[in-house]
Structure 1
Amino acid sequence: MCKIQHTLRGLSRRVYHLAFSSLGVIAASDQHRIAIWNVSDGKRHKSTTNQYFDPGHTGVVSCFTFSNDGRKLAAAVGKDIKIWDMSTYSLLTLRDASQQGSWIMGLNFSNDDALLASTSGNCVFIWRVDTDKPPFKKILKLQKSRQLLLPKNHEWASNVAFSHNSKYVATGTGNDVCIWDLQADGEPIIISGHKDVVNAIAFSPDGSYLASASADMTVRIWEAPWDGEHKQARLLLRGHSRMVYGLSFSPLESKKRIISCSADGTLRIWDYSHDLIKPTAETPVEVGAETDPQASAHTWAISCIAFSSNNKLIASASESSDGVICLWDGESGSFQRQLRAHGNEVLSLDFSRNSRYLLSSSGDHTVKIWDMESENGSQQLSLQHADWIGCAVFSQDGKSVASGCDDNMVRVWDIQRLIDGRNSSKADDSVDCCKYILEGHDERVTSVVFSENGRFVAAGGDYNGVLYWDLRPQDPKSVAQPAKVLMQRGPDTIVSLVFNSDASSLIACSSHQIWIWDTASSQCVTAKCSVSLSALQLNPAYPEYIVTGTGPILIEDILGCDEVRITPTEWCPCSFTSFDEDSAGSITWQGKEMIFLPKEERDILLEKLSSCKRVMRVRDRRVVVGRASGRVLFFRFREVAKFDDSS
């Protein structure tokens, strides 16, 4: 049985990168700092002057690696390569190593630490690391040895790896792998086979094999020589249910093992010693579109769902980096079409009140505005950010958009300028239509909302931060009033907020708690909820209720109880039961459990709710559930439906 040895703390943001050192330490980064811990006791590794390797303000940490002897740490920070002495935390060298301003995406030492490879744009750079034997010189020289260009039609080099003897260097580029012979001049060898982006590559210790991991959920193992005609992978390893992020060969040549890690939350160790006796032919499994109505939809776990106000459309997005949005018929639940423009995972969806426009935010640093009345709904405008955008919403009149970013700021945009320009055939996505940049959050922004009259904007973030701003200050010279802090810090993440009709109250929720503030006095009442919460909205026809993603709740129950429950109504009779280890997830009708979801679906929903993903929606007599398989379950109950004890 595997047991947790240490829980390492010290980084306040999400952890993006990890690396082990041969000297028994582990490094981790939140893209802004690099922290070091001892593997043996889990204690923070500190020098006499610093607690972190501070990359400074030149950019975010995109990747880092230890030298094989463990004495150096190299990190790609924006356009620069920085190398530190591990014994003193002192900076040994700083070098601009970018290609045409592109970020550095891959970094790796050769086995003897004499070379360092970096990737940027369409280039692989080979650097010679010149240093005396320890103790190191105060300044370490990083001199460019070679610059390798990707072939045509290959725009980006990602990860990079040396063979054990430094004869070959390889990089992933799109769906392919490029391999250069460093002892010869010439074009790289291209090996193809993956159906999606290559995320990681590694050479075996003896140099006989190269492994590649991909977003297509597979690991492929290729055997030398690499220049064989119509090169095919020797082995195709299937088993992960989501994209494979990383892999590593066992350093023991006698052990033919490779480990892979995936977005499905698992590590898999593969013993390929017997399988290499004979080649394995790949036989792709095709799903026929004629027999599968969802064959053109998602292939990854659903991450967010949105209803149009007129109930005619449902939009969904998955955790895939393909950025695909799927549209479904709001009456029948049938798949309609895909929208493609994002270059990374879609993180939020929102329809305008008139249902004409769909808003999507993404990890590709953009917000897209889709016109549902254009041909196939594919016409779109973009708003550019500097980081991942976890949430974006329309104002009630549809003329403005508020977006919350991982840079801890909220931006308010005048999108009417973009829409008017497009309608007059003078569209220009580069027009600066940002009206306000609202600051005050200490952590990334996870939810945002306008008041009905558009005067106020509220935002929630990690660790329970809730702030709001007055966009119409009395002082005409002021851009916006400073943020008013309603809640500073706590253990959870705010997943949704909503103002009441006159903005006298603000309601917010985390996954299992709900708050109501009087915006004038900042007084607050709070209650726990018996089911997981994922969204909040008000129904103007029934202002005494707050409608959550799992069903309606009476507002007076929040004001008078320590714990509230879903309250089925005639106009919204559907709800969800709790998803936890002890209870089976089910869809209820007037509080009666009617449809039980399989255990595996319940577990996935619990996982998504705990990470603030919006995977279910209750709307009147409609219920939509996003599945781990990428399918969308749609339930629509008739108005005359009745269920008694005998049914």
Structure 2
Amino acid sequence: MLQRSSTLQGENFAGLSLRQADLRAATLIDVDLRHAALGHTRFTNSFGIVSSVAVSTDGQFVAAGAGRSLVIWQLDSAQPYMVFEEHPSEIADIAFAPDGQHLASVGFDGTLFLWDMAVGAPVARKQLQLGTLLSLAFSPDGETLVCGGYGGRIGVLKWRRNELVGALTPNTRILRLVFAPTGELLANVGYHGMIQVWDIQTQKIIYTLENDSHMYVAHAEMAVGSTLIWTHQADTIFAWDRETRAVAFVLHGDQAWVDSLALSPDEQQLASADAEGAITLWDTHTRQPLRFLVGHEGSVRTLTYTPDRRHLISGGYDETVRIWDVQSGLEEKHLQGYFHWIYKLAISPNGQWVAGVTLTGAVHFWRNQDLGEHRSSQGGKSAIRALAFSPNSKLLATGGDDGRVIVWDVESGARRHLFQEHTQYVRTVAFGPQGRYLASSSFDCTIRLWDVERGQLLRTIPLASIGDMDCMAFHPHHALLAYGDASNHLYLWDAENGRIAMRVEMASQPKTVAFSPHGRYLACGTYDGAVTIWAFVGQDSGFQLVECWRIHASPQNAWQLVFSRDEAHLAWNGEQKEIYVAAIEKGDIRYSIPGTHLATCIAFSADGQHL
């Protein structure tokens, strides 16, 4: 059966014998395996999205951070060697120490772990109070460890003593940290793609490298060589000269948005990977592509060379770690997880449909009555992170890492419109109150307004530098779009005439906005942890916002705001583990829900009694 199709959806194997069946590549949605004999049946090893890979300095081991697990294999045999599962949140980055015996890992909750492979356990765990951590790096001499992330500070540790000895303040969110080969310099790349180069001894910035782009980047990689610093934006790779501090040259290929970079140990080769799973090997002298490595589905998020430069290790959204022969360009080994999981879900306004999207470009539709009716469509090869139902529940809009916005017919699963004007990742899509308009925001610093019936672009808001996926929302009854930007302002934009109707100055950058279900309130959460709510007051001459209250329950940023259906309560989550619930009329926190892990998504029940 699998020779005809990779999906076994809906098949009934209850009570049957499936001995020695290889189901690693099969889609098993709605498959009935109750009481089946599954002796020696091979299922996919589930280890989650691969966020980071690292190779030990002696080339014996390869490690991957996947979900909350740190998985280690023997490189030559690809056999599992060790698994660490102590992380309370998803792992953002990992690195081997130069001694080849220790590893470090950081999680999105701000926790740093140090692991000793000899004892098979963590030897240190540290909450650094630096906010969400995204990157870490060991100095070449193995004495110093640095880490940083959304908090905008870089922690400097003497890791053998488990001591924080300093904190650098680049005043930008840190997406990647890399030491120069000699170890005296540290480079970080930030949210605008700006590179800052530090003297690690004096802990001062030596110089800054910055191009003229106003783009925001969701994910940035950097490679530092003896003479060049490599980074990327969109589909372009920049080679910065460390002496002149200018762009020496750029590399352009056929890749979509470049997501990861790696420089070979001898600096003769550069590997780049894109949002659609393609990997390109570049000759750094001729500046031409050498080979193309094909196999991944969806974005490749991490690359690293082995110390002998013979192999390239890659990992990504398809939950695989792949080991490539650099000389031949062939895949030698394939370590696979289960890549059919759902990244994000939405329920239609009429309650009849559930839609889900994946990081490998699939869109799934289920009829909500019993979830028995299922269909799927393919929205491309790139990750899809944004989705929204139209008010009448007949259409679904999705936005992907390839910059495409697609409008789907819910009943048939067919594609109604394809919009391709965005030049960077799409992070939010939202329908207007009557479903006439669709708005989409992107890391290309634009918000685009589409005519849903005609399938045309109506208006573009330039320099709408939304940096986050939830910082845009339509009023439920008016063609007013609320969005926040990096200049610490919240805007109300009239979709009918294309003008800014109101601008509100905030103390910190807006992270998330939401209108209440009946449109009486607007709420905004910011990066400093404050949550503000306004009453939306309509008038004959227009409207006004009247601030009701502001709560600063946590210094860490708010991720998501959710109103109860009756507009009596507002709940939010964020980088802290607690979930807060406030009474809207009184403007006080009724209670907080403690947690052991970060809550990534919250929702009220239809009657507002449960969260």
Q: Same fold (TM over 0.5)?
A: yes
Q: Does 1:554 align with 2:610?
A: no
* Pick aligned residue for 2:167 from 38, 41, 52: 52
* AA partner of residue 257 (structure 1): H
TM-superposed deviation, 1:216: 2.5
Contact in 2 for aligned 1:390/1:447 (Cα 8 Å): no
Kindly tell me: are residues 97 and 382 of structure 1, through their superposed partners in 2, closer, same or farther at Cα, counting changes over 3 Å? closer
In structure 1, the partner of 2:465 is 386
Contact in 2 for aligned 1:15/1:31 (Cα 8 Å): yes
Normalised TM-score (structure 2) = 0.58
Contact in 1 for aligned 2:223/2:262 (Cα 8 Å): no
In structure 2, the partner of 1:485 is 550
User: Structure 1 CA distance, aligned partners of 2:322 and 2:594?
Assistant: 38
Q: Does 1:508 align with 2:571?
A: yes
Normalised TM-score (structure 1) = 0.55
In structure 1, the partner of 2:182 is 69
Higher helix share: 1
SS of equivalent to 2:308: coil
User: Matches of residues 199-238 of structure 1 in structure 2 within 5 Å?
Assistant: 199-206=259-266, 209-221=269-281, 233=291, 236-238=293-295
* Pick aligned residue for 2:511 from 424, 437, 445: 445
Indicate the structure (1 or 2) with the bigger Cα radius of gyration.
1
Kindly tell me: are residues 389 and 315 of structure 1, through their superposed partners in 2, closer, same or farther at Cα, counting changes over 3 Å? same
In structure 1, the partner of 2:41 is none
Structure 2: runs of 5+ lacking an equivalent: 1-81, 87-102, 105-110, 113-126, 333-360, 362-374
Contact in 1 for aligned 2:197/2:208 (Cα 8 Å): no
* AA partner of residue 258 (structure 1): L
TM-superposed deviation, 1:356: 0.7
In structure 2, the partner of 1:590 is none
Deviating more after overlay: 484-493 vs 208-217: 484-493
* Pick aligned residue for 1:248 from 292, 304, 313: 304
* Pick aligned residue for 2:503 from 395, 417, 436: 436
Q: Does 1:30 align with 2:149?
A: yes
SS of equivalent to 2:455: helix
Contact in 2 for aligned 1:317/1:346 (Cα 8 Å): yes
* AA partner of residue 554 (structure 1): D
Contact in 1 for aligned 2:451/2:457 (Cα 8 Å): yes
SS of equivalent to 1:488: coil
Residue-by-residue CA offset, 1:535-587 (whole Å, 9 max, x unaligned): 76xxxxxxxxxxx5xxx5434x44xxxxx7xxxxxxxxxxxxxxxxxxxxxxx
Kindly tell me: are residues 508 and 325 of structure 1, through their superposed partners in 2, closer, same or farther at Cα, counting changes over 3 Å? same
Contact in 2 for aligned 1:358/1:369 (Cα 8 Å): yes
In structure 2, the partner of 1:257 is 311
User: Structure 2 CA distance, aligned partners of 1:363 and 1:300?
Assistant: 15
* AA partner of residue 278 (structure 2): T
How many residue pairs get aligned? The number is: 438
CA-based RMSD of the aligned residues comes to 4.8
Q: Does 1:352 align with 2:432?
A: yes
SS of equivalent to 2:429: strand
Contact in 1 for aligned 2:222/2:232 (Cα 8 Å): yes
Residue-by-residue CA offset, 1:261-310 (whole Å, 9 max, x unaligned): 424465544455787799xxxxxxxx9xxxxx977623344433322122
Higher strand share: 2
Contact in 2 for aligned 1:393/1:448 (Cα 8 Å): yes
Residue-by-residue CA offset, 1:381-433 (whole Å, 9 max, x unaligned): 32643341422211233232112457775332233331xxxxxxxxxxxx6x1
Contact in 1 for aligned 2:515/2:522 (Cα 8 Å): yes
Q: Does 1:19 align with 2:143?
A: no
* Pick aligned residue for 2:198 from 77, 84, 109: 84
SS of equivalent to 2:503: strand
Kindly tell me: are residues 404 and 14 of structure 1, through their superposed partners in 2, closer, same or farther at Cα, counting changes over 3 Å? farther
Kindly tell me: are residues 490 and 116 of structure 1, through their superposed partners in 2, closer, same or farther at Cα, counting changes over 3 Å? closer
Contact in 2 for aligned 1:10/1:35 (Cα 8 Å): no
Contact in 1 for aligned 2:271/2:281 (Cα 8 Å): yes
User: Structure 2 CA distance, aligned partners of 1:458 and 1:380?
Assistant: 25
User: Structure 1 CA distance, aligned partners of 2:150 and 2:432?
Assistant: 34
Residue-by-residue CA offset, 1:355-380 (whole Å, 9 max, x unaligned): 1111223333333222213x324434
* AA partner of residue 364 (structure 1): D
In structure 2, the partner of 1:403 is 483
* Pick aligned residue for 1:2 from 83, 103, 120: 83
* AA partner of residue 607 (structure 2): L
Kindly tell me: are residues 345 and 210 of structure 1, through their superposed partners in 2, closer, same or farther at Cα, counting changes over 3 Å? closer
User: Structure 1 CA distance, aligned partners of 2:510 and 2:516?
Assistant: 18
User: Matches of residues 143-542 of structure 1 in structure 2 within 5 Å?
Assistant: 143=244, 148-149=248-249, 157=250, 172-173=251-252, 176=253, 194-206=254-266, 209-221=269-281, 233=291, 236-238=293-295, 240-252=296-308, 256-264=310-318, 267-270=321-324, 297-318=379-400, 320=401, 322-373=402-453, 375-382=454-461, 384-391=463-470, 392-405=472-485, 410-418=490-498, 433=500, 435-439=502-506, 445-450=511-516, 452=518, 454=520, 456-460=521-525, 466-470=531-535, 484-486=549-551, 488-489=553-554, 495-498=560-563, 505-508=568-571, 515=581, 517-520=583-586, 522=588, 524=590
Kindly tell me: are residues 128 and 303 of structure 1, through their superposed partners in 2, closer, same or farther at Cα, counting changes over 3 Å? closer
User: Structure 2 CA distance, aligned partners of 1:409 and 1:223?
Assistant: 44
Contact in 1 for aligned 2:445/2:464 (Cα 8 Å): yes
Kindly tell me: are residues 444 and 44 of structure 1, through their superposed partners in 2, closer, same or farther at Cα, counting changes over 3 Å? farther
User: Structure 2 CA distance, aligned partners of 1:207 and 1:302?
Assistant: 34
Residue-by-residue CA offset, 1:487-524 (whole Å, 9 max, x unaligned): 713999653423666x5x23436599784624245363
User: Structure 1 CA distance, aligned partners of 2:284 and 2:600?
Assistant: 53
